[in-house]
Amino acid sequence: MTSNHIILVNEQDEALATMEKLEAHQKGLLHRAFSVFVVNSANEMLLHQRAFHKYHSGGLWTNACCSHPKPGEEVEEAAHRRLQEEMGFDCPLQKLFTFTYHATFDNGLIEHEYDHVFLGRFDGEVVPDIAEVDEYGFFSLQEIARQIRDTPERFTYWFKVAFPMVVEQLEK
């Protein structure tokens, strides 16, 4: 089994099988994923612009990182691994919630994910992988909300769905 396999799940997040990542996205099958949101001590959120060559949503702005756990890998373990790989740091993570979404992209690929959302707090140096990230920065929650309202096409689908739920958790 290659590292490009992801975990297919049912609506209760019970593992059913594994499948090559691209095939699962071509068929639009529900699979396990995670999204990591990071804020600093000023309550600004780390966003990054996905590399333009990504297989979908290239050039769009999104949360600190997101991906899929590998078969046999715990979701939180995968979130830490991917945060280190993509953004060059790790931090404590708190699981906030899960949600399911379905989105079809212009290139015909389909995201159908059971997404585990984590929150981290970090004030150190960000050293992104340039193969994954074109730009990044910390932005106020109000600025992000304004940008989503004014230019929603600049953001990933899942980010626009999860962002208000993360903000709600931050305000508790």
Domains, the chain, with CATH or none: 5-170 (3.90.79.10)
pLDDT at 1 (0 to 100): 42
The answer to whether residues 132 and 63 touch, using CB atoms and an 8 Å cutoff, is no
Q: Is 65 annotated in the active site?
A: no
Q: Write out pLDDT tens, residues 19-63.
A: 999 999 999 999 999 999 999 999 999 999 998 787 677 789 999
pLDDT the model gives residue 58: 72
As a whole number of angstroms, the distance between CA 134 and CA 84 comes to 16
Per-position DSSP letters for 1-18, written without gaps between them:
--TTEEEEE-TT--EEEE
Radius of gyration of the CA atoms of the chain, in A: 15
Residue 164 to residues 80, 113, 145, 170: CA-CA distances in angstroms?
23, 18, 8, 10
List the catalytic residue out of 66, 77, 153, 171.
Answer: 66
SS3 content of the chain, % helix, strand, coil (to 5): 25, 40, 35
**Which portions of the chain are predicted below pLDDT 50?**
1
The question of whether 11 is a catalytic residue gets the answer: no
Residue type, 123: D
The catalytic position among 65, 86, 111, 113 is 113
Residue 6 in contact with residue 32, Cβ under 8 Å? yes
Burial class (CB in 10 A: 0-12, 13-18, 19+), 102: exposed
